[in-house]
Amino acid sequence: MNPTMGEETAPGNVAFNTTHWSVVLAAQGESTAADEALEKLCRAYWRPLYAFVRREGRNIEEAQDLTQAFFARLLERRDFDSVRREKGRLRSYLLVALKHFLANEWQRARAIKRGEGRTLIPLNELLAHAGADFEPADTLTPDKIYERRWALTVLEQVLERLGQEYRDDGKVVLFGRFKELLAGEPDHLMQAQIGDELGMSENAVKQAYHRFRQRYRELLHDEIAHTVAVPGDIEDELRHLIAVLRS
């Protein structure tokens, strides 16, 4: 899947002051908005961090418990002073924090009985959604697995948001056909075939796919913006995501 649709420049119209990570970092003390933003981010990063823990050698049950305990601790302590000072990116911050947690606190976390304490995300929800790709590949290092799962999770979120927009507009079939074309540029034959299936002219299909690509780029830019502390980091994170997917 090509995340940038031909690597065209992503739009810069994100309202940065309302992104999840900036809301979390700007919060002082208790904040409902910050709590909600942090929990959304935790949900998005559960699988990448779980994959890292699994590749570190933990079994499935232990990795699930440790990942849940890590996020519960994160939500309880909310210690982001170092991130504020360094204007850190969420992707990097969480991996460093998890490594520290595993090195120094996993024994305590292991003592938490399964099913007790704060459960951030129901495990059956995650496992049902993830399917076969939930477990990490044996050929990658833990850090590479984390990066790979992070990149794929970002793209999954983008497609979910885009798909919901098309569902709301009653264009489920059109979305499905365009989603299949993400890996490359559709040729005239593909456009004509889609037009025949949906009762559209080839030119109408071409224009609709152009809008699909544009919206995809906008949502990708928006998803990345949610995970950095300053606007200047967005383009770097986009380039990093592309590099991870190509490696």
Domain boundaries, the chain: 16-246
pLDDT tier at 28, thresholds 50, 70, 90: low
Mean pLDDT over residues 216-232, rounded? 86
CA 70/CA 202 separation, integer angstroms:
51
- Among residues 100, 103, 93, 99, the alpha carbon closest in space to that of 38 is found at 93
In tens, the pLDDT along 137-183 reads: 567 889 999 999 999 989 998 999 999 999 999 999 999 999 988 86
Q: Where are the alpha helices (DSSP H) in 5-137?
A: 20-26, 32-55, 60-77, 81-86, 90-104, 106-110, 123-130
**Over 80: is that where the pLDDT of 221 sits?**
yes
Phi, psi of 62 (to 5 degrees): -65, -40
**Looking at per-residue confidence, does 84 or 153 come out higher?**
153
Least confident of 29-38, 127-136, 197-206, 222-231: 127-136
